[in-house]
Structure 1
Amino acid sequence: MEKQGKSGHLVLVTVPFQGHITPMLQLATILRSKGFSITIVHPELNSPNPSNHPEITFVSIPDKLTKSQLSDTDVASLTLILNRNCAAPLQHCIKKILHSYGHIAAVVYDTLMFCAQTIADNLRLPGITLRTCSATTLLFFPVFPQLDEKDFISEIESPELQRFRSLLSQSPTEATMETRVAFTKAVGRSSAIIVNSMEFLEQEALSKLVVG
């Protein structure tokens, strides 16, 4: 068994999309530098190369994705399938890690891998979500239930959300709406949120997100 870091052991859970994998690996490197030992659990699709990060333990779980799903499925639907297929093997994997280390400080998961929050809840572990998008996108969460109402979209007054008005006005698919609901609920239950941002870039948005 690998010697546990002085700050404890963290399990990081990725989704197999490159724009999400890279920020998670960067976060893992930062947390490792703070004294944590790290295990990254990832689906088989687009698996990271462990040799590039010898100080981190990588564990692959089956995603059961078919070639037709990979070629014909939109991102929202693929996200739902991933969460459905990976939930059981992910829980088994985290239980095994917990048994091996005796303690897990937290489960840090990509927002799109929202099944990890339910697993963390079931195992009574802190769940922390990584939002790989900008902090501004978190301002969407309270208004997601109303995004299909055209009158609501036209009345948006928030300067941050107005910049995304054209995106918000697009009619969402059922899979998109289901994904929004799922990860919004997961984030609401999380112990903390990590945002891939910098204060000087999004000072106004971050000020609205900070709980006093």
Structure 2
Amino acid sequence: METREAKPVIFLFTFPLQGHLNPIFQLGNIFFNKGFSITVIHTNFNSPNSSNFPHFTFVSIPDGLSESEATNPDVIDILHDLNSKCVAPFGNCLKKLISQEPNAACVIVDALWYFTHDLTDKFGIPRIVLRTVNLSAFVAFSKFHVLREKGYLSLQESKADSPVPELPYLRMKDLPWFQTEDPRTGDTLQRGVMKSLKSSSGIIFNAIEDLEPDQLDETLREFPVPLFCIGPFHKRVSPSSSSLLTQDMTCLSWLDKQASKSVIYISLGSIAAIDESEFLEIAWGLRNSNQPFLWVVRPGLIHGTEWIENLPKGFIENLEGRGKIVKWAPQMEVLAHRATGGFLTHCGWNSTIESICEAVPMICKPSFGDQRVNARYISDVWRIGLHLENKIERVNIENSVRTLMTSLEGEEIRKRILPMKETAEKCIKLGGSSHRNLENLIAYILSF
């Protein structure tokens, strides 16, 4: 009897934050469709729902986080706690998996797992790193030590609009910034990530090199390891949910009732929080714009409140159905809906590339990390959106929404994003840059 050759196995070590789970599961599906078996290593903290991925094998490791550590609002502290507490559990798990799996090809780890290089070297298995930012933000992060040494990071308020000589297009206020009580912990994280990247067997980006050719050249000069830009991930695979929150699917039937390109969609991501005053200014700005809106207000988004209980009495009723507020939404489906005409976003890279792929122009309200870099590129370089530069006030929200959705300027922005969508579609087809890079990546993994 003919025996079927066993599939090569890729171990994915997921990082337990929403913006990192989505791309790594999309990547896992890409490799599965190319003939690999996928084993997912994950923490108990923010454990993914394995039933959504029955074709993967799931292995959990204890993360050792106490309840207070797991609910710490300082995300950088959580990152460091996970990297210190998961060393032994990950090492034990990896050792066991390698001993059981003769066809292990490599480990793909999220870049935030900066401790993993010593263990993968110890066990003799190649380690490829997934970086979930785009190339422009990656270049800015790679210069973090220079920015710190030159004192730029402390100038973000006093000289907010001054240019950054080392980073064309960016201003001081656009530099990557970590949401942490102690800036030194951000520096430690950055050093750990950079060391891990430079010692890896390769780096994968959910990015499109055709959109960022200069940044690709600079990255290739800085990092002497193979780089693979194979985005947009989500356009290569069928949708499957890695959401940690329950998605409210009623928003899709609500969108069905709205006019084409009429709805402004608002979502500020899975981590950032805003003050009650900012929340109310956004609410009144949306109401006063007279534009239909779909607004994601995640529990925990507003400091000191459960959900939307601080909205003025009668606010929602007075909208007369023109607005809908949900706790979480199926974002890719929302952006792809014919009724969605604009996106008020925190400018995380997942949201940005999803918006580009549907030619939905953006209004930028970045908070931290790569979001500030992305916002500047969206507004000033690619010119496919507007930037809320100043304090959040209702008149700014109202004017931005009206400009994007109903003005000639908004129409010009819409025209500029269309070629970017076309580039995203072409790059994953035969002969496109991302298609070619994926084929090279697969050949590279099989050569180990």
Q: Does 1:126 align with 2:126?
A: yes
> Structure 1 residues 156 and 114, CA, compared in 2 at 3 Å: closer, same or farther?
same
SS of the aligned residue for 2:86 comes to helix
Q: Which of structure 1's runs of 4+ aligned residues deviate more than 4 A?
A: 150-155, 169-172
Q: Distance in 2 between matches of 1:190 and 1:165?
A: 31
User: Retained in 1: the 8 A contact 2:131–2:206?
Assistant: yes
> Structure 1 residues 164 and 81, CA, compared in 2 at 3 Å: closer, same or farther?
farther
2:68 is matched with: 68
2:202 is matched with: 192
Which amino acid is the alignment partner of residue 175 of structure 2? L
Select which of 175, 193, 214 maps to 1:168: 175
1:204 CA drift (Å) = 2.8
1:204 is matched with: 214
User: Retained in 2: the 8 A contact 1:9–1:104?
Assistant: yes
Q: Distance in 2 between matches of 1:164 and 1:106?
A: 39
Q: Does 1:78 align with 2:78?
A: yes
Q: Distance in 1 between matches of 2:83 and 2:36?
A: 26
Alpha-carbon displacement from aligned partner over 1:152-209 (angstroms, at most 9, x marks no partner): 67652432xx436314386971211111111110001001000111233323322332
1:41 is matched with: 41
1:156 is matched with: 165
Alpha-carbon displacement from aligned partner over 1:96-117 (angstroms, at most 9, x marks no partner): 1111112421110000012222
Which amino acid is the alignment partner of residue 167 of structure 2? S
Q: Distance in 1 between matches of 2:51 and 2:208?
A: 29
Q: Distance in 1 between matches of 2:89 and 2:74?
A: 23
User: Retained in 1: the 8 A contact 2:152–2:172?
Assistant: no
Alpha-carbon displacement from aligned partner over 1:74-97 (angstroms, at most 9, x marks no partner): 111111110111111101111111
**Deviates further, 141-150 or 68-77:** 141-150
Greater helix fraction, Structure 1 or Structure 2: 1
1:34 CA drift (Å) = 1.2
User: Retained in 1: the 8 A contact 2:164–2:170?
Assistant: no
Give unpaired runs (5+ residues) of structure 2: 154-162, 225-448
SS of the aligned residue for 2:139 comes to helix
User: Retained in 1: the 8 A contact 2:45–2:70?
Assistant: no
Give unpaired runs (5+ residues) of structure 1: none
1:179 is matched with: 189
Which amino acid is the alignment partner of residue 205 of structure 2? V
SS of the aligned residue for 2:144 comes to helix
**Deviates further, 126-135 or 171-180:** 171-180
SS of the aligned residue for 1:105 comes to strand
Identity of aligned residues (%): 34
2:27 is matched with: 27
User: Retained in 2: the 8 A contact 1:147–1:169?
Assistant: no
> Structure 1 residues 82 and 169, CA, compared in 2 at 3 Å: closer, same or farther?
closer
> Structure 1 residues 51 and 76, CA, compared in 2 at 3 Å: closer, same or farther?
same
User: Retained in 2: the 8 A contact 1:11–1:106?
Assistant: yes
Which amino acid is the alignment partner of residue 206 of structure 2? N
Alignment of 1:7-22 (within 5 A): 8-22=8-22
> Structure 1 residues 62 and 203, CA, compared in 2 at 3 Å: closer, same or farther?
same
Alpha-carbon displacement from aligned partner over 1:118-138 (angstroms, at most 9, x marks no partner): 211111111110001112222
1:142 CA drift (Å) = 4.0
SS of the aligned residue for 1:82 comes to helix
Length, aligned pairs only: 206
SS of the aligned residue for 2:46 comes to coil
Q: Distance in 2 between matches of 1:120 and 1:98?
A: 11
Q: Distance in 2 between matches of 1:151 and 1:177?
A: 13
> Structure 1 residues 105 and 151, CA, compared in 2 at 3 Å: closer, same or farther?
same
Q: Distance in 2 between matches of 1:205 and 1:39?
A: 32
SS of the aligned residue for 1:174 comes to helix
1:53 is matched with: 53
Alpha-carbon displacement from aligned partner over 1:11-60 (angstroms, at most 9, x marks no partner): 11111100000100000000111111111101111111111111111111
Return the TM-score normalized by structure 2. Answer: 0.43
1:151 CA drift (Å) = 5.1
Which amino acid is the alignment partner of residue 158 of structure 1? L
If asked which structure has higher relative contact order (CA below 8 Å, sep 6+), I would say 1
Q: Distance in 2 between matches of 1:191 and 1:50?
A: 28
